[in-house]
Structures are given as structure tokens and as C-alpha cells.
């Protein structure tokens, strides 16, 4: 590719390179990238790298490439009830909205039809890596893994473990069944994966342990899941934590031996460096220290936290503590499939936190760090890409562009004809402008895309170098 590339580089920085040459090898990995290549130097640069017959895809003015988005927490079977149930808080919402919908996935043909449409939409919204919750059903969750694998998305797919505090028609009969189904799903998904292209890389689709949340698992089940986890140190774990006040107090009453919510997972060996904790809205200082000590990651789900009236997670504080943080749509607690929407709400959530802090007379806005401040654009981009990669344990493989990493990327188009953002007056070829003004223009495009963009602006979606979605792929 030759053209504008935006590449996150740290929590507070990204590089905006208007004339970047980005080379992808035959396995879909990034071979090299060179910034600031003048058009007249293009052929020489390629030749000096030994790229004689390379096919170069030129980007138009108004198009740019960014790393694909990483959704660290979503529920594929809840897409059918997206945008409903906002009158409830978590526990009633589960009872009246979510469990009834999820129970329909006992029907495999319903699962097939729904998951095909869900995964297609998730990909076309720019999510190249997704951590999916399925339902409690083994067969339907196999279907989800099949669909993800056949569409070529990078993903973690888990079957919910839930053997209590759920309705009679939607509950696992025993801890043994739950574990045996989980083991079957793990082998099924591992057998799905095509051989990886390089030995260092992990398969595109991987299993993930998914105890729904502490409330829906008995001690016996959590303890068996802990044993399974101990025998599989590389197996990721995903669950919910400290989302809602009633949930937290109910959890406390079910696990009197644990000193807090995070302590429940820790007690059963489920809190470790490859654990993804969704929400983390109301953690205590003790829990924050424990999560940091265990190096578990947090999935920030601001749309859901607003929608289910759960609260606002103090993400700036977590970043200051050095905790890994990524973004999660948490559909259908969240009402949008797209990480763009999560970025927008992460921005608003941080601003609301900052406003609340201002009303505290002890608040000192000159304190360094992220806590109680709006999040800069670079940080929002980081959370959606590199932060998510770290939470998934794939920081060496995805989340930014660097030699040896996988090319998981979006080709974004904010030209007027793409429909919604409306940047007019762009030329067919790049206009003659000094590099600094072009960089500033690119900063402006990124911000506009993050706040006003949607799937109409995502022309192409690549995973491991393969084009597998986006607006131009559909047409």
C-alpha cells in the first residue's frame, strides 16, 4: 500500500504518515514499512527492498489505513435484542431480556442464520479481532466458531458456563456437564484452525474459558474451571466483574469466604495475566491492586455501562496504575456493534468523570496522569487497537503496524462519495502540500472518522493480509 497510514505507537502517541509505503508479504505479515516516501522515490524504494514485481495499491486522497479494531467483549447471541431493555438494570435485564433470547440458540438453524449475519456485521464494522461470548449451548457455540472461522475473522470464542441463578429453561444441569461441554468446545475449535503460517503466530480462532460471571457459577463449577485453567496456562479466560451495585452485593452473599468480587475469581485460580474482565465499574482499591498484581486485563464497555445504568468505569485511574485496558461493545448491554461507538462513549465517559472530579474541592487538575481527565484521541485509538491487543495477549501480533506483525487493518474512506462524513474538495491524487500540513489534515481525518464515521467509511477489512470485509467487499 502507498498512501496515508495512521499507526498507534503508545498510549499517548500515534504516527500519521501521509506517504507511507507498507509492505505485506505472502503470508499476510507486515514485511516492512517506510514513512515519507515521495512519489518519485517509490520505485527506487521498492527496488532497494528487493520488491521487483510488487503489486502496489495506491490510496486516494481521503483514504487512509489504520489497524483493525479489537472488541475485547461482546455477546454474539444478544445481537437480536440490541436496542431493547434499556429500562432495566443488569439483573432484571438478564432475566427479562437476555436469557430468553439466548435460550433460542438451542435451535441450531436459528444459531446458523443469526451468527452468519452477526459475524458479517461485526467484521464490516471494522472489528478484526473479537472476543465472543456464545450461549451455554455446545452445538450453537460450535456454529459460532465455524462461522467466524469461515469468514476469516480473528477471534476468541467461548461457551458460557452457568449452572445456577438462571431460569430452568436456560441453565446447565450440572458442573460436570458444563466442564465436559467446555472441553469438547476447546478441542473442536483447536481442530478447526488451519495450520498457522509462521510458528510464532497463534491460530486465528481460539477457544476461551467463559464463566458467565460469579453469580451464575457454583463453587464446584468455578473450582473445576480453575483446575482446567491450571492445566492450560495459555487458555484465555473471559468473565464479567463489578458491573452493577446489586450484582456486587449478591456476589458477596454467594461467596462469603471471598474478601471481594475480584477475590472470588482469584480464589478459584481464574484471575491471571490472560484473564479479560469486562466492566470493572466499581472496583475497590484492593481489587485494583490485585488485578494489577495478576496482570489481568480490563474490557471497558462504556456504552453498556451507560445503557444499563451501571456507572462509569474509572479508566484513567486504571491506565495510571498500569493495568491493561481495551474496549468492548458488550452487545447487547451496549446497543451498537461498532467499536467506533464504543470509542465515542469512552470519550464521553472520561469527560463525565472529569466533570464530576471538578466538583470535588480537593481535585487538582494539574495532577499528572489520565485519571479524572478527558482521554486524548491518541489514547482512544490506543484502547481500540494496541490496548485491546494487550488485553488479548496478542500485543506482539496485532494492534499496530510493525515488521513481523499480522496485517489486520482497515482501509478507511472519508471522501465525500462515501456518504456521511462529507469532506469535500479532495483531489483524485494527493495534492501538493508540505508534509506538516498533510499530517495535520490526517489528524483531522482520524478524529472525524472516530466521531462521525460508521461502516460506510470502512471500505476494506483485512485480517492476516486477507481482504474479508468492508463496504467495497460487499458491493
Q: Which residues bind Fe ion (CB under 5 A)?
A: 278, 330
In the bound state with Fe ion, the residue whose beta carbon lies nearer, of 125 and 244, is 244
Contacts of ligand GUN in 240-269 (CB under 6 A): 240, 243
408 binds ligand GUN (CB under 6 A): no
| Near ligand GUN by CB under 6 A: residue from 124, 330, 408, 430 | 330
Task: For residue 213, state whether it binds ligand GUN (rule: CB under 6 A).
Answer: yes
Count of residues that interact with ligand GUN, criterion CB under 6 A:
11
Rounded Cα distance between 22 and 67, Å, is 12
- Out of 333, 387, 453, 469, the residue judged to bind ligand GUN by CB under 6 A: 333
CA–CA separation, 390 vs 397, rounded Å?
10
Pairs from 387-390 (Cβ < 8 Å, separation ≥ 24): 387/11, 387/70, 387/324, 387/325, 387/326, 387/327, 388/69, 388/70, 388/71, 388/72, 388/129, 388/326, 388/327, 389/70, 389/129, 389/326, 390/297, 390/324, 390/326
In the chain, % helix, strand, coil (3-state, to 5) comes to 40, 20, 35
Per partner kind, with CB cut-offs from 5 to 8 A, the member of ligand GUN, Fe ion, none near residue 94 is ligand GUN
Q: Which of residues 279-308 bind ligand GUN (CB under 6 A)?
A: 304
Alpha carbons 242 and 261: distance in angstroms, whole number: 7
With both helix axes pointing from N to C terminus, report the angle between 339-358 and 435-452 in degrees, rounded to the nearest 10: 90
Which position's Cβ is nearest ligand GUN? 333
Separation between Cα atoms, residue 35 and residue 14, nearest integer Å: 13
User: 388 and 70 in contact (C-beta within 8 Å)?
Assistant: yes
Candidates 5-13, 90-98, 380-388, 463-471; binding stretch for ligand GUN (CB under 6 A)? 90-98
CB-based contact 31:458 (threshold 8 Å): no
Task: Give the 3-state secondary structure of residue 64.
Answer: strand
CB of 213 or CB of 306, closer to ligand GUN: 213
- Shortest distance, position 333 Cβ to Fe ion, whole Å: 6
Query: Pick from Fe ion, ligand GUN, none: which does 300 bind, CB < 5 to 8 A by kind?
Result: none
Q: How far is the CB of 304 from ligand GUN (least distance, A)?
A: 5
Nearer to ligand GUN, 8 or 134 (CB): 134
User: 212 or 471: whose CB is closer to ligand GUN?
Assistant: 212
Which x/- pattern over 56-75 shows residues binding ligand GUN (rule: CB under 6 A)?
A: -------------------x
- Is residue 181 part of the contact set for ligand GUN (CB under 6 A)? no
Residue bearing cell 429453561: 169
Place of cell 491524487: 429
Shortest Å, Cβ 98 to ligand GUN: 5
Q: In what order do the strands lie in the sheet with 63-67?
A: 30-34, 13-24, 2-10, 63-67, 409-413, 458-463, 466-469
Query: What residue number has its CB nearest to Fe ion?
Result: 330
The binding site for ligand GUN (CB under 6 A) comprises 75, 90, 94, 98, 212-213, 240, 243, 304, 330, 333
Amino acid at each position: 500500500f502507498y498512501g496515508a497510514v495512521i499507526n498507534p505507537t503508545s498510549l499517548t502517541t500515534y504516527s500519521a504518515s501521509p506517504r507511507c509505503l507498507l509492505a505485506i508479504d505472502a503470508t499476510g505479515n507486515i514485511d516492512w514499512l517506510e514513512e515519507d516516501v515521495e512519489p518519485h522515490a517509490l520505485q527506487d524504494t521498492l527496488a532497494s527492498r528487493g520488491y521487483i514485481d510488487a503489486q502496489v495499491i495506491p490510496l486516494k486522497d481521503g483514504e487512509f489505513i489504520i489497524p483493525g479494531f479489537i472488541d475485547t467483549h461482546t455477546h454474539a447471541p444478544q445481537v437480536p435484542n440490541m436496542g431493547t431493555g434499556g429500562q432495566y438494570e443488569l439483573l432484571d435485564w438478564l432475566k427479562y431480556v437476555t436469557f430468553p433470547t439466548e435460550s433460542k440458540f438451542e435451535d441450531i438453524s436459528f444459531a446458523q442464520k443469526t451468527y452468519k449475519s452477526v459475524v458479517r456485521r461485526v467484521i464490516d464494522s471494522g472489528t478484526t479481532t473479537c472476543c465472543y461470548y456464545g450461549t451455554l449451548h455446545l452445538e450453537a457455540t460450535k456454529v459460532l466458531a465455524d462461522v467466524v472461522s469461515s469468514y476469516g475473522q480473528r477471534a476468541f470464542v467461548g461457551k458460557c458456563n452457568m449452572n445456577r441463578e438462571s431460569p430452568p429453561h436456560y441453565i446447565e444441569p450440572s458442573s460436570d456437564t458444563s466442564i465436559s461441554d467446555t472441553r469438547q468446545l476447546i478441542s473442536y475449535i483447536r481442530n478447526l484452525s488451519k495450520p498457522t503460517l509462521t510458528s510464532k503466530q497463534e491460530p486465528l480462532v481460539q477457544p476461551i474459558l467463559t464463566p458467565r460471571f460469579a453469580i451464575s457459577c457454583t463453587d464446584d463449577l468455578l473450582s473445576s474451571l480453575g483446575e482446567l485453567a491450571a492445566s492450560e496456562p495459555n487458555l484465555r479466560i473471559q468473565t464479567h466483574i463489578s458491573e452493577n451495585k446489586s450484582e456486587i452485593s449478591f456476589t458477596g452473599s454467594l461467596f462469603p469466604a471471598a474478601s471481594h468480587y475480584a477475590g472470588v475469581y482469584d480464589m478459584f485460580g481464574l484471575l491471571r495475566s490472560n484473564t479479560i474482565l469486562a466492566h470493572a465499574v466499581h472496583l475497590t482499591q484492593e481489587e485494583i491492586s490485585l488485578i494489577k498484581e495478576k496482570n489481568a486485563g480490563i474490557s471497558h464497555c462504556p456504552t453498556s455501562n451507560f445503557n444499563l445504568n451501571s456507572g462509569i468505569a474509572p479508566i484513567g485511574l486504571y491506565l495510571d496504575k498500569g493495568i491493561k485496558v481495551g474496549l468492548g461493545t458488550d452487545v447487547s448491554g451496549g446497543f451498537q456493534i461498532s467499536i467506533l461507538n464504543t470509542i465515542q462513549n469512552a470519550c464521553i465517559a472520561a469527560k463525565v468523570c472529569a466533570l464530576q472530579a471538578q466538583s470535588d474541592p480537593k481535585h487538582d487538575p494539574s495532577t499528572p496522569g489520565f485519571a479524572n481527565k478527558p482521554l486524548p484521541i491518541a489514547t482512544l485509538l490506543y484502547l481500540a487497537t494496541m490496548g485491546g491487543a494487550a488485553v488479548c495477549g496478542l500485543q506482539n501480533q496485532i494492534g499496530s503496524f510493525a515488521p513481523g506483525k499480522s496485517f489486520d487493518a482497515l482501509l478507511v474512506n472519508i471522501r465525500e462519495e462515501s456518504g456521511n462524513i462529507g469532506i469535500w474538495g479532495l483531489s483524485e491524487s494527493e495534492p501538493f502540500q508540505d508534509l506538516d500540513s498533510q499530517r495535520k489534515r490526517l489528524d483531522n481525518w482520524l478524529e472525524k472518522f472516530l466521531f462521525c464515521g460508521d461502516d460506510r467509511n470502512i471500505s476494506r477489512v483485512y485480517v492476516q493480509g486477507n481482504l474479508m470485509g468492508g463496504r467495497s467487499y460487499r458491493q
